Amino acid sequence: MNILVTGGCGFIGSNFIRQLMHEQGGHVRKVVNLDKLTYAGNQANLSGVAGDSRYAFVKGDIGDEALVAGLLYEHEVTTVVNFAAESHVDRSIDTPEPFVQTNVVGTLRLLNAAKRHWSGLASGDRDDFRFLHISTDEVYGTLGAEEAAFTEVTAFSPNSPYAASKAASDHLVRAYRHTFGLPTLTTNCSNNYGPYQFPEKLIPLVILNALEGKPLPIYGDGKQVRDWLFVEDHCRAISLVLKRGRPGETYNVGGLNEQTNMHVVRLICSLLDSRSPRPDGRPYAEQISFVADRPGHDRRYAIDCTKISRELGWRPAESFETGLSKTVDWYLANRAWCNDITLRRYARERLGKSA
């Protein structure tokens, strides 16, 4: 297949491209990575495939219909996988508009370009074409402690500007299938973690803050529950959905690993205590600090992934303990990548303050 991946320099997108090219190379003729390179996009995430003749990087916006249309035509694209999104809840609370522009308007324009491209294909190629939209469990809202996990038919009830923007994009994808027949697929995943994650999210933030001797901030009482999904397991699920998923369907992808934020932070501290002890010999857990809770903070997310397991045979390979252990080891072994991310983040913050 010739595949257009949007947002491929981000955390999940870059993991997907590496897995796609290393593990499924025989099935891939061309991978075109379209990424705007916002603060979380990093071309270094794909340094291992940058020299591959099957790989092409294009800096650009999914909202640029003419650019997308040109790429679809030039590279004879048969598959679109849309990772491109603004994804950090805190940032959506501070400034919601970029989330609407990228996640809603951008997805709409990407769908428009894909629909025109698909409409012009020969009948056999039209049948094989796929548009896969990557979404989140946050579109479903929040769960009580005893409530059943989200399924594909759970009503949407987004509680943050980020979640609302992703819910809107999910509805657009569904509408383009129902109205125009575009062969779309949607996956709604739980909280991802693993290598190459930008350090504003909980797990890499805690790892790097701990190593730098900084406080380890926990919102509220730390009892918020999330279902944690190792990114490589998620990428395998995406590949299965592309190969065998039924057009028009949604598949929930969860890690089957519900953990409180407090437990996650303490487990990271314990792993670091054994792998990279503090110079003073004290436990990293002493750096834990509690901060005011986030406005509208959802209490619990949980994914029921029965459908993808039953229909496609997927289950996560990693437990939370094994996945987190691999993640901590990766960050310890890749301090240069971490330092570069930190320097770029601080440079952007300084630029913003001086503007």
Three-state DSSP class for residue 36? coil
CA separation for the pair 340, 265 (Å, rounded) = 24
pLDDT in tens, 123-140: 999 999 999 999 999 999
Element (H, E) at 162: helix 161-180
Cα separation of 302 and 4, whole Å? 30
Quick one: the chain helix, strand, coil %, rounded to 5? 50, 15, 35
Q: Taking the CA atoms of 185, 228, 348 and 14 in sequence, report the sign of the dihedral they define.
A: negative
Which tens digits make up the pLDDT trace of 186-212? 999 999 999 999 888 899 999 999 999
Q: What is the DSSP string of 244-298?
A: HPPTT-EEEE--S-EEEHHHHHHHHHHHHHHHS--TT---GGGGEEEEPPPTT--
CA 230 to the chain's CA centroid: 11
Could you tell me the residue ranges of all domains in the chain? 2-197+230-255+301-318
- Token code pair at residue 23: 């593990």
CATH of 2-197+230-255+301-318, one of 3.20.20.70, 3.40.50.720, 3.30.43.10, 3.50.50.60: 3.40.50.720
Full strand arrangement of the beta sheet holding 225-230: 191-193, 225-230, 258-260
pLDDT (average), residues 251-273: 97
Catalytic site positions: 137-138, 162
Residue 91: alpha-carbon gap to chain centroid: 16
List, for residues 79-115, the tens digit of each pLDDT value: 999 999 998 788 889 999 999 999 999 999 999 999 9
pTM: 0.94
Residue type, 23: E
pLDDT tens-digit readout, 298-355: 999 999 999 999 999 999 999 999 999 999 999 999 999 988 877 765 545 444 433 3
CB 248 within 8 A of CB 181: no
- Whether the pLDDT of residue 72 is over 70: the answer is yes
Query: Cα–Cα distance between 183 and 127 in angstroms, integer?
Result: 8
pLDDT value at residue 345: 56
Q: Is the dihedral of CA 303, 306, 307, 309 positive or negative?
A: positive
